[in-house]
Structure 1
Amino acid sequence: MNAEISKIYTDGACSGNPGPGGWGVVVYFGDGSVHEMGGAAAATTNNRMEMQAAIAALEFCQAAGHPPVILYTDSEYVKKGITEWLPGWKRKGWKTAQGKPVLNQDLWQVLDQLNTKSVNWQYVRGHSGNAGNERCDAIARAFAAGRQPELRQSRDL
């Protein structure tokens, strides 16, 4: 029997902004197993890495056939973008309220395609002692620094 995903934490990091960046994801399952992921980009921004983490998390859920229950991000940009701003951007032809092109439109479009009603987007304050957030932050920072962190993957697809 497959355990359901209970919660997901995502984070992005960038050394310089723009600069080398990394992202991290920690997926917790109801049976106590954990699946961690991460990646890097040579020249990017913190916001793009935050978005890439959320994309990777949702792609993992889709591939595993499990909709996430709660997706935690410490990025207000990602949380507000996907839950508040996106409908207006789409109505305005991917323009902001000021009439400027939406930054990171390519990633917003991917997130929009992956997002479903079963995704409960939650903001978690970064660097506040939350174990899931701290762990994905460590993964993201390691990748941004060019290091390969040891990833727990007690769960196979």
Structure 2
Amino acid sequence: MAQQQLIDCIYTDGGCIHNPGPGGWGVVVQFTDGSVLEMGDHQPETTNNRMEMQAAIQALEYVRECDQQEPMRLLTDSKYVIDGITKWIKGWQKKGWKTAAGKPVLNQDLWQRLHQLNHPQISWCHVKGHSGEPGNERADAIANGFARGQKPHLRNNQSASMPKKSTKIKR
């Protein structure tokens, strides 16, 4: 039986042409052995924040399929996603999904899914966008390719022992 590869880190990014407008998300999964898995998809009418969140959701769904218990980093250039999942979400839940101003939380459906998928072994890390970080640049290129309607070539040089993940957004 083949040994399961371990995820080292995951880069996520989302983008939107005109906000709202056509959008895309990209995920780059890097394994400890140097292999890579890339995922992405598009949505015809969305927002940048929803695509940033969708990328993180797809990454965490993949982690769930892998059933990895070892720590890993999830890197995103979205402070909205990081602050939402690490700081704001508990307050929103306590207030019945209302903001401090008493308004409904935007993207509640995605926040609830993200919270459901989040695991203690995930370290949420911010990476500055467009700063030359290869994993972030690649996730950005995937997201923007899909947002522009141009499906990029996605790398999948992982071993057959890992679960296969669809590139489609679950609706």
The 5 A counterparts of 1:47-58 are: 47-58=49-60
Q: CA RMSD in A?
A: 0.8
Which aligned segments of 4 or more residues in structure 1 are displaced greater than 3 angstroms?
none
Paired position in structure 2 for 1:71: 74
Letter in 1 for 2:22: P
Residue 133 of structure 1 aligns with an amino acid whose one-letter code is N
Residue 6 of structure 1 aligns with which residue? 8
Superposed, 1:118-133 pairs within 5 Å as: 118-133=121-136
Q: Deviations over 1:115-147 (max 9, x none)?
A: 011110001000000000000000000000001
Q: Report what 2:36 is aligned to.
A: 34
Structure 1 unaligned regions, length at least 5 = none
CA distance in 1, matches of 2:11, 2:49: 16
Amino acid at match of 2:92: W
Q: CA deviation at 1:66?
A: 1.9
Q: Distance in 2 between matches of 1:23 and 1:127?
A: 16
State the partner residue of 1:154.
157
In 1, Cα distance between the equivalents of 2:67 and 2:142?
Answer: 24
1:100 has 2:103 as partner:
yes
- The alpha-carbon deviation at position 3 of structure 1 amounts to 2.1
SS of 2:58's equivalent? helix
Structure 1 residues 50-109: Cα deviation after superposition (integer angstroms, max 9, x where no partner): 000000000011112225600001000000000000000000000001110000000000
CA distance in 1, matches of 2:100, 2:156: 42
State the one-letter code of the partner of 2:96.
Answer: G
Choose from 139, 142, 147 the match for 1:144.
147
Deviation at 1:2, TM superposition (A): 1.6
